[in-house]
Structure 1
Amino acid sequence: MKIISERGFPQDDYDDYDDTLEENTEETCEHLCVYRGKCVSCERLAFKNVHQGMWLWLNKEEMDRIRKVESEKLLEDKKMVLVLDLDQTLIHSTEQEKYLRTPQELMQHELRDSLFRLSRPWEKMMLKLRPFVHTFLKEASTMFEIYMCTTGTRSYALKVTEFLDPERVYFKYSRIIAREDLFETDEKSLDLVLREQRMVLALDDTKSVWRKNEVNLILVKKYHYFDSDDDLSHVSHSALETDEDETIGTLPAVLEELKVIHRLFFNPKFEAGLSHRNVGLIFARRSVLRGCTLSFKHIFPSDFMRENSRLWLMAEELGAKFSMDNLLYPITHMVTWFATAEEFQEAELEEFILVHPKWLRACYYAVSRVSENDYLIKPKD
């Protein structure tokens, strides 16, 4: 998908087309019909995007309308949007001669289900899928509408998609954003995704390309399967004759994080509705109580599923870990309405803090760790 102003429009070789650059006022009209980048009614400039493989020109109001309508449809289906990088996030590729294998050799290779030869008239390369990638895409697609955003060319992205998603279940043509679509070749932007950014996550191994959308970014460890002439600081998996673990590697861990974010985004127990949910706030809160391990006492009935309570979900969104009945030590905080004499002694001995549930709420709404001093549980006289 691409959205650019007339100033960036790649001109075609039409003799009757005036390619003189006009001043871009960034103003658009309310008319819907556009020809050659200008409104047919008032000749104002329009914006361009790609839809189902075709370049379309839309005014800003129409883009905003599409963004709103399509986002509402996704929210009704309890889906968010996930924008995935390609190279060193989902795959690793190389043109190095030492790695090239013939199709016959690949048939006998122990990695034949994840190692492929990509051949085009002007280049030959080997492609390695990141372990767990197929399961990752399958499970993520139940929670997210999936896009690809790569600084590689569209032809390269489409070729790689044949191995990542041969049935075209996850990466629809209109959801592949490639180098030709970017405003700058070294910068990615969620403006290219016609969905509300508050519900969009980006997964990438490079932070610098998301300069305008860092609050939406989940940064992942680079996947180095092949040796690299450009980066000698990493020893590749192929050199070590290893690979990432299918169960505890990068993508399984990211999938679990996505499940938590999705559950928190659509949590019906929060006071504000979906219109107030924002992944930027969820990300900001995820580090507030990181490093804290909580235990809940005298809060929930014995037969109550505490994991579904508002307090528990708040603490989870704040990045805290939990101790079930003090079995996980050391805990840092016991959240309780009151404490017995024995619990005060235990807190002193184990060096954890007895704190009122209001402390969690205060941290949540402040989006920062509030001092416990005003929320301490104190012994009764």
Structure 2
Amino acid sequence: RLEQENAERLLHDRKLSLILDLDQTVVHATWDPTVGDWMKDENNTNHPATKDIRKFTLPGSSLMYYIKLRPGLSEFLRQVSGLYELHIYTMGTRHYAEAVAREIDPEDKLFRGRILSRDESGSVTQKKIQRLFPCDTSMVVVLDDRSDVWSFSPNLIKIKPYEFFVGIGDINSPFAPKQILAEQEKIQEAMAKEQQQQRPLAQKQNELAPGQDRPLLVDDDKELYTMSTILTEVHERFYKGLDVYDKHKKDDENGAKSSVGKPDVKDLIPEMKRKILDGVHIVFSGLIPQQQVLSDSMYWRLAESFGAVCLPDLTGNVTHVIAAKAGTDKVNRARRANKIFIVTVDWLLDSTARWDKQDEKRYILPSLNPSASVGSDAGEVEVENPESTPFDDGAFDPDEHSLGEDVDWDDMDREVDDALNESGTDFGDTDSEALDR
């Protein structure tokens, strides 16, 4: 009954509900005391970037938290609060969530206590919309930097992780060692103390530019501006659809019921995403583990969710080869085709993160001969293969299909995890034992 009353109130105000994650979505946090040193030292190259860092301690702890608000957050919240009722859902503790909420909404006008933390969520690894909206999720949008914790919900809009404190990651990550809550808090406290002793930010600064005056902290993130545009469009589409539904919901003169359905965010968001890469036909090279089913790959699933068609090999209608390196069989054959974009995976990640197909020329795979890139006049014959016929049928490239015996796959998995976290991709495929070269 309460949920129905809430829905009616939102409809009257022409609003939707927006569930916001905190860490790496709208803020970035660290315990590293190096930040405090940089804040005090006006001569430090990182000092200018620390001017609006917030800091606080939590009840019962002397540990200092340093919080950086994502650029544009105040404007973002002001804009979306006119269209959405805002909720916080975090894997952090209740005290942490309330402390961050006070920093981003000091007068409690935006959230009004609508906070769900790990202390109440019932899970330390998964989030469920039903914890807040058990009956109807048709008007609920989620904004988070992780899709796996939401089980890839159709209500989710995924944002690139915000990592202002380089190399720190998410201090409230749900994928810490699987322990009961009390033990996890002890682990978190121990991790914080260890981080304070190791001072990872100071180490990163030294690695970046030893002896040089280059800042580690760079505040050039613009993702919230993109998210504001997307959320505005979702809201507009929902209420346009609702207006049409209201107009046709009554039986017509003959008693036949209207075929116009009530709008649902779970339909709207996937529909909007599928238009981004509509008409794009992709082949991957060197990015999918050899033993993995292609359609289970994180890249394959990501591309298809945004409307692309993914294929196992080159055919006459392939438009893009997304490759990890030059020189593979697929890349070489695509170069001969002369009309296929050969790009890095960043093209896919940026296009899907920004909900806008990016200019391929900015993502051309390194080490390619410029004369052989897309649109060149290299004198090579254009492909005339039928749509379903692979190029060079039976061709085999040992470099692309064999496993190197001297490769440390554990190290490679860790490097892949780090790269995907920085690029904003997380599909939980880190159990793969070996990557397709």
Q: TM-score w.r.t. structure 2 length? A: 0.46
Whether 1:117 aligns to 2:55 is yes
CA spacing shift, 1:164–1:182, aligned 2, 3 Å: same
SS of the aligned residue for 1:243 comes to coil
Whether 1:251 aligns to 2:224 is yes
1:278-357 equivalences in 2 (<5 Å) = 278-291=264-277
- Could you tell me which runs of 5 or more consecutive residues in structure 2 were left unpaired when the two chains were aligned: 171-199, 209-213, 250-260, 280-305, 308-437
Note if contact 1:265-1:277 (Cα within 8 Å) is conserved in structure 2.
yes
Whether 1:171 aligns to 2:157 is no
How many Å apart are 1:229 and its aligned residue? 5.1
Report the residue type matching 2:268 in the other structure.
I
Q: Which residue does 2:13 correspond to in 1?
A: 77
SS of the aligned residue for 1:252 comes to helix
Q: TM-score w.r.t. structure 1 length? A: 0.53
Whether 1:98 aligns to 2:34 is yes
How many Å apart are 1:244 and its aligned residue? 2.4
- Could you tell me which runs of 5 or more consecutive residues in structure 1 were left unpaired when the two chains were aligned: 1-64, 294-318, 321-381
For 2:40 and 2:216, the matched residues in 1 are separated by 24
The one of 120, 126, 132 aligned to 2:72: 132
Q: Which residue does 1:19 correspond to in 2?
A: none
Q: Which residue does 2:87 correspond to in 1?
A: 147
SS of the aligned residue for 2:103 comes to helix
Aligned residues: 224
SS of the aligned residue for 1:159 comes to helix
Whether 1:242 aligns to 2:218 is yes
SS of the aligned residue for 1:123 comes to coil
Whether 1:265 aligns to 2:238 is yes
Q: Which residue does 1:227 correspond to in 2?
A: 166
Could you list the runs of 4 or more consecutive aligned residues of structure 1 that deviate by over 3 angstroms after TM superposition? 101-106, 108-113, 229-232, 235-241, 268-271
For 2:264 and 2:157, the matched residues in 1 are separated by 15
For 1:146 and 1:230, the matched residues in 2 are separated by 25
Whether 1:186 aligns to 2:122 is no
Note if contact 2:18-2:84 (Cα within 8 Å) is conserved in structure 1.
yes
CA spacing shift, 1:147–1:284, aligned 2, 3 Å: same
CA spacing shift, 1:85–1:197, aligned 2, 3 Å: same
Report the residue type matching 1:90 in the other structure.
V
Of Structure 1 and Structure 2, the greater helix share is in 2
How many Å apart are 1:113 and its aligned residue? 5.6
The one of 205, 209, 212 aligned to 2:149: 209
For 2:164 and 2:57, the matched residues in 1 are separated by 19
Note if contact 1:100-1:125 (Cα within 8 Å) is conserved in structure 2.
no
For 1:91 and 1:208, the matched residues in 2 are separated by 19
For 1:266 and 1:67, the matched residues in 2 are separated by 19
Higher RCO (CA-CA < 8 Å; seq separation 6+): 2
Note if contact 2:241-2:263 (Cα within 8 Å) is conserved in structure 1.
no
Identity of aligned residues (%): 27
User: Looking at CA atoms only, which structure, 1 or 2, has the larger radius of gyration?
Assistant: 1
